[in-house]
């Protein structure tokens, strides 16, 4: 059971329930309510909370569902998820998804265990939970910063903020630009390049980077590549893919594939040509992308969870995302939350840096063994 504060019942609260449907079965009134919730609550105005993202996933995967939270037959909110097993849910899109949670008003009080029961689930594992009802807090094991760029004052206001924060790249940017143009060619930036060769090159650079750094490449999975291909075709008013390209003369030196909602651009797959690394092409591309986002009327750029140095230098702030697990099986739930809590304490410590290389090499070795079977 779920309860909404201030309901008309004599107790002051009214009971609501949930039913699951396929994304393709979302009705026009569902979509209207969903988009109204995104417009009304700024934290939900992010691409991964858009119904278009969920519907694309549903075109590729049969295990992506939406729980429609209803009161008196009217939709009050939505819980999109993906079944990783018949009774366990995770973020829709798995590793592709950088924000997850309920698309619902903040005062919608939800009993997480009852919600799972309505969905036929025993557990929900989350690693990028943003916001949500207070009833989810006991199930959260760790909270991690997800850096973001505030563009509400425009690009010049953003630069002023970074300059006041003592970030060195602001003063270095003109010099780096002049050096690159002098030695390679004039810079040209395309905010929304629709050349499929650009996205293909960005993904190729990203795959090479993953190989060098011994990290997992989500696009090695065929279904994730299919999702990406369909997302690249999306051009809706409130949801669209964005493929950006930075050229020096005739050379493509950096690019980015991301997603955009009405007011937010999400940094997703940025990459650059290592041959031009000494010119800081990634920084030049990112600042050009932020400027273009501001000029397009967007007010926020999400950089994604993590403490990468470039993210911290670009970000004006951060939102907290939670890691944890709602599990109706007490022991398994305790184990899952203990794992996330331990990882949270380990993150950012000297031990993490010492073990990062061995952990990545072991992960790659296991992946190769699995591929050889």
| Percent residues over pLDDT 90 in the chain | 75
For 284-334, the pLDDT digits (tens) are: 999 999 999 999 999 999 999 988 999 999 999 999 999 999 998 765 655
Q: Which residue has the higher pLDDT, 10 or 60?
A: 60
Question: Is there a shared CATH topology between the 2-146+320-372 domain and the 153-298 domain?
Answer: yes
Whether 199 has a pLDDT exceeding 80, the answer reads yes
- Which position has the token pair 């990468």? 308
Contact between residue 119 and residue 81 where contact means Cβ atoms under 8 Å apart: yes
* Contact present, 18 and 67 (Cβ < 8 Å): yes
Q: Where are the alpha helices (DSSP H) in the chain?
A: 28-40, 51-60, 112-119, 154-164, 169-183, 196-213, 222-231, 281-295, 309-314, 330-346, 350-372
pLDDT digits (tens, 9 = 90+) for 28-50: 999 999 999 999 999 999 999 99
Angle (deg, nearest 10), helices 154-164 and 169-183? 110
pLDDT tens figures, 146-161: 999 999 999 999 999 9
pLDDT at 268 over 90: yes
Average pLDDT, the chain: 88
Dmax over Cα atoms in the chain, in whole Å? Answer: 75
**What average pLDDT does range 184-202 have in this prediction?**
95
Domain boundaries defined on the chain = 2-146+320-372, 153-298
Contact between 129 and 323 under an 8 Å Cβ cutoff? The reply is yes
Return the ∠ at Cα 154 (arms to 280 and 166), rounded to 5°. Answer: 50
Q: When comparing pLDDT for 6 and 350, which is higher?
A: 350
Name the token pair of 168.
């060195």
User: Is 60 exceeded by the pLDDT of residue 73?
Assistant: yes
Asked whether residue 113 carries a pLDDT value surpassing 80, the answer given is yes
Mean pLDDT, rounded, for 170-176: 93
Tokens (6 digits) for 153: 């004052």
Closest residue by Cα to residue 152 from 317, 315, 294: 294
In this prediction, residue 216 carries a pLDDT of 82
Look at residue 213 in the predicted model and tell me its pLDDT.
81
Please determine, for residue 192, whether its predicted confidence score (pLDDT) is greater than 90. Answer: yes
pLDDT at 212 over 90: no
For the ranges 6-10, 140-144, 246-250, 367-371, which has the lowest average pLDDT?
6-10
Cα–Cα distance for residue pair 225/116, rounded to 1 Å: 29
Out of 38-42, 239-243, 297-301, 348-352, pick the least confident: 348-352
Q: How far apart are the first and last CA of the chain?
A: 45
| Residue 164 pLDDT grade (very low, low, confident, very high; cuts 50, 70, 90) | very high
**Above 70 in pLDDT, residue 342?**
no
| Torsion-angle region of 73 (φ positive above 0: left; ψ -120 to 50: alpha; else: beta) | left
pLDDT band, very low/low/confident/very high, at 348 (cuts 50, 70, 90): low
Instruction: Give how far Cα 49 sits from Cα of 13, 125, 161, 238, Å.
Output: 27, 17, 28, 11
Rounded to whole angstroms, the Cα distance separating 4 from 72 reads 12
Entry pTM:
0.86
Domain 2-146+320-372 belongs in CATH node 3.40.630? yes
pLDDT at position 186 over 70: yes
Specify the CATH architecture of the domain 153-298: 3-Layer(aba) Sandwich (3.40)
From the list 20, 197, 181, 50, the residue with the least C-alpha distance to 115 is: 20
pLDDT band with cut points at 50, 70 and 90 for residue 130? very high
């Amino acid at each position: 059971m779920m309860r909404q504060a201030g309901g008309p019942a004599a107790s002051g609260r009214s009971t609501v329930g949930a039913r699951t449907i396929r994304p393709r079965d979302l009705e026009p009134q569902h979509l209207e309510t969903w988009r109204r919730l995104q417009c009304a609550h700024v934290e939900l105005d992010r691409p991964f909370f858009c119904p278009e993202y969920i519907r694309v996933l549903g075109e590729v995967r049969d295990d992506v569902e939406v729980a429609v939270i209803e009161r008196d037959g009217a939709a009050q909110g939505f819980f999109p998820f993906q079944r990783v097993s018949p009774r366990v849910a995770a973020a829709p899109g798995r590793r592709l998804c950088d924000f997850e949670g309920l698309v619902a008003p903040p005062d919608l009080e939800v009993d997480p265990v009852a919600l799972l029961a309505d969905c036929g689930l025993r557990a929900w594992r989350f690693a990028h939970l943003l916001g949500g009802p207070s009833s989810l807090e006991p199930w959260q094991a760790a909270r991690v910063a997800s850096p973001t760029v505030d563009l509400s004052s425009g690009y010049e206001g953003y630069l002023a903020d970074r300059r006041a924060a003592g970030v060195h790249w602001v003063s270095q940017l003109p010099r780096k630009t002049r050096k690159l143009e002098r030695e390679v060619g004039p810079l040209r930036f395309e905010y929304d390049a629709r050349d499929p060769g650009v996205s293909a090159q960005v993904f190729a650079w990203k795959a090479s980077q993953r190989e060098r750094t011994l990290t997992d490449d989500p696009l090695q999975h065929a279904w994730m590549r299919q999702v990406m291909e369909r997302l690249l075709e999306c051009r809706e008013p409130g949801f669209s893919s964005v493929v950006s390209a930075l050229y020096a003369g005739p050379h493509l030196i950096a690019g980015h594939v991301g997603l955009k909602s009405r007011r937010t651009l999400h940094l997703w797959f940025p990459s650059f040509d290592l041959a031009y690394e000494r010119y800081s092409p990634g920084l030049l591309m990112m600042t050009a992308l932020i400027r273009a986002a501001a000029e397009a009327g967007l007010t926020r750029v999400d950089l994604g969870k993590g403490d990468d140095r470039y993210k911290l230098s670009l970000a004006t702030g951060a939102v907290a995302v939670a890691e944890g697990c709602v599990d109706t099986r007490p022991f398994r739930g305790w184990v899952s939350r203990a794992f996330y809590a331990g990882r949270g304490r380990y993150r950012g410590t000297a031990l993490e840096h010492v073990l990062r290389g061995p952990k990545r090499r072991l992960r790659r070795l296991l992946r190769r063994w699995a591929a050889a079977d």
